[in-house]
Amino acid sequence: MRYPDCKNKNSIQDGLEFQDFVMETLAKQHGIIIQVFGSRKYQFSHGESVQRYEIKLDRRCTETGRLSIEIAEKTSSEADWVQSGIYAGNSLFYVQGNYSCFWLFMTKFLVKLHKAKNKDYEEKEETTIKAFYLPLKDADKYGLKFMPGKETAA
């Protein structure tokens, strides 16, 4: 898939490298093995992995103090929005963060947070992505935090 209007022309490759980093970290430190589908056909019909994990890189989350949880995307500014991120496919687990730390969530729980009337999470819309911001204090409360290089999850 190509995203001609994306600011970072290497975003897909960067995301794949982070996905590999997460898979290696979880396998080595916690014995969690994730098998990703390589073809677009299987990713669209089955999700990103056999175990139903969705993995997203959020380079600036530790800098901004919040996760930018994806809810929709489009391939270009002229395209229609399609559900993605926490609303994509059939993922059970959603992993997001960067190389210093990342969080593991139940996808359904993030959907409930996003839809909750009592939470006032800011939403953003850029040229090719829609997301809501989850403060890291809430990520720590609702997800499992992993610190690569440390032997246990925080």
Q: Answer yes or no: is 130 within a domain.
A: yes
**pLDDT higher than 50, residue 2:** no
Domain that holds residue 49: 11-146
Q: Answer yes or no: is 70 within a domain.
A: yes
pLDDT in tens, 22-41: 999 999 999 999 999 989 88
Q: Answer yes or no: is 85 within a domain.
A: yes
Q: Phi-psi region for residue 97, left (φ > 0), alpha (ψ -120 to 50) or beta?
A: left
Q: Answer yes or no: is 2 within a domain.
A: no
pLDDT in tens, 78-134: 999 999 999 987 899 999 999 999 999 999 999 999 998 667 799 999 999 999 999
Average per-residue pLDDT in the chain? 89
Q: Answer yes or no: is 80 within a domain.
A: yes
Q: Answer yes or no: is 6 within a domain.
A: no
The tally of domains found in the chain comes to 1
Q: Answer yes or no: is 1 within a domain.
A: no
Burial of residue 30 (CB within 10 Å: 0-12, 13-18, 19+) is middle
HSE-CB for 31 with a 13 A CA cutoff: 0
Q: Kindly give, in sequence order, each residue whose CB lies less than 8 Å from that of residue 90, ignoring residues fewer than 6 positions away.
A: 46, 47, 52
Q: pTM (2 decimals)?
A: 0.86
Q: Answer yes or no: is 122 within a domain.
A: yes
